[in-house]
């Protein structure tokens, strides 16, 4: 690799690591139930689609949705993100980040798995989520296991 190729290669590595940090910070703030830092990871018109309700658009709507999650005594979400695949396109990028999820619901230990389909945009020096779409493959009581669920998690 010659000197002219090094700078773009380093820029790509730095950008991808910043995007991976974005996904890790999202999981961290969910674990810690930190609403404002979580909302701050999204663009002003950012969108979250959990497939459980209508897509949530804009920071105010995201703030309200995340606050409802924090206020829910049953919400004890512990996401682990991994296998992050990122495609850069200048100041925009797309990615898939896989998730393993542990939770407690109605006093039962729950286990989930799926992935996020993300769109990112660089704003100044920071990368933000433009959109996050969650697809859960399963979310089941731990003692039941997931062998009997179909690909929709049912």
CATH top-level class for 3-141? Answer: alpha beta
Dihedrals φ, ψ of 100, to 5°?
-110, 135
3-state SS class at 74: coil
Structure tokens at 61: 């709507």
Tabulate helix, strand, coil % of the chain (nearest 5).
Answer: 30, 45, 25
Residue 5 has pLDDT above 90, yes or no: no
* Domain positions in the chain: 3-141
Beta strands in 15-76 (DSSP E): 42-49, 56-57
Which tens digit of pLDDT belongs to each residue from 100-135?
999 988 888 999 999 999 999 999 999 999 999 999
Determine the average pLDDT of the residues in 51-59: 93
- Which pTM does this prediction carry? 0.90
């Amino acid at each position: 690799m010659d000197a002219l190729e090094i700078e773009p290669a380093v820029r790509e590595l730095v950008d991808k690591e910043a995007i991976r940090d974005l996904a890790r910070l999202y999981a961290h703030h969910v674990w810690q139930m930190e609403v404002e830092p979580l909302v701050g990871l999204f663009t002003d018109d950012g969108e979250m689609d959990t497939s459980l309700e209508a897509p949530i658009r804009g920071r105010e709507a995201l703030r309200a949705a995340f606050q409802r999650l924090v206020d829910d005594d049953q919400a004890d979400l512990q996401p682990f993100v991994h296998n992050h695949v990122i495609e850069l396109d200048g100041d925009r990028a797309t990615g898939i980040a896989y998730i393993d999820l542990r939770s407690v619901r109605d006093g039962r230990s729950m286990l989930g798995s799926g992935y996020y389909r993300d769109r990112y945009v660089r704003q100044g020096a920071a990368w933000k989520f433009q959109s996050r779409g969650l697809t859960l493959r399963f979310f089941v009581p731990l003692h039941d296991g997931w062998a009997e669920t179909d690909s929709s998690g049912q």
